[in-house]
Chain A
Amino acid sequence: AQSVSQHNHHVILSEAASLELGCNYSYGGTVNLFWYVQYPGQHLQLLLKYFSGDPLVKGIKGFEAEFIKSKFSFNLRKPSVQWSDTAEYFCAVSTYSSASKIIFGSGTRLSIRP
């Protein structure tokens, strides 16, 4: 069965710093990959997703993620964070054969100092 690891539990950055949140998955076959975000007091929402094609995926609010198949990774990046990026970020994976079973990581809490 597939699983997802997010090794950074809590990341604290200053505004304008660059961000990279790690995500590794375990599954040898074709995968669908996602990053979701939950802003304080709001619902979970999709940031970006990868299914196929260009491994560098761009999402909303200036976020991007790169799928590196050889490393089983799908790290989230943003060149310059803002205070409004304070949120919890979840990486998720599903397999091609069981696409609707989307497994989430434990999440990374991002705190931005103004």
Chain B
Amino acid sequence: GAGVSQSPSNKVTEKGKDVELRCDPISGHTALYWYRQSLGQGLEFLIYFQGNSAPDKSGLPSDRFSAERTGGSVSTLTIQRTQQEDSAVYLCASSLGTSGGVPETQYFGPGTRLLVL
């Protein structure tokens, strides 16, 4: 089927506004991941979901960031009161999960490019 999709592809917002980023994983993938890629930086792990649960939220940069996943499918990453340092590409990936301590291959979406003015 189709790959991982993300929307919007680009988002420009004003400082202080809230934004919602959406990720549609590959059908049947139980694991879903969010990363942030700032200019010139690597991928920063934010959060991952196994089903609708997020076992590890330690990567979220601040309490302005939250994420949820419903129905074991679509996930939304919300950034409240955006700051200029939130400007980055937000990447989503999905996989079949893990098996015996070994993660299945992640498939990445195209990302959402967020610019906070």
Contact = CB atoms under 8 A, between A and B. Distances in A.
A72 interface: no
B101 to A, nearest CB: 4
Nearest to A51: B102
Interface residues of A, number: 25
Given A30-B101, A46-B106, A104 B50 contact: no
B26 interface: no
A101 interface: yes
Given A32-B103, A94-B103, A106-B41, A101 B108 contact: no
A68 interface: no
A45 interface: yes
Q: Main secondary structure on chain B at its contact with chain A?
A: strand
A45 B3 CA distance: 12
Interface string B89-116: 0010100011001110111111000000
Interface in A67-94: 90, 92, 94
A16 interface: no
A102 B42 contact: no
Contacts of B97: 100
A100 B109 contact: no
A43 B107 CA distance: 9
19 contacts: A30-B101, A44-B43, A44-B93, A45-B107, A49-B105, A90-B42, A92-B43, A96-B102, A98-B56, A99-B101, A99-B103, A100-B55, A100-B103, A101-B48, A102-B33, A102-B103, A104-B43, A105-B42, A107-B43
Interface of A: 4, 6, 30, 32, 43-46, 49, 51, 90, 92, 94, 96-107
Interface of B: 3-4, 31, 33, 35, 41-45, 48, 50, 55-56, 59, 91, 93, 97-98, 101-103, 105-110
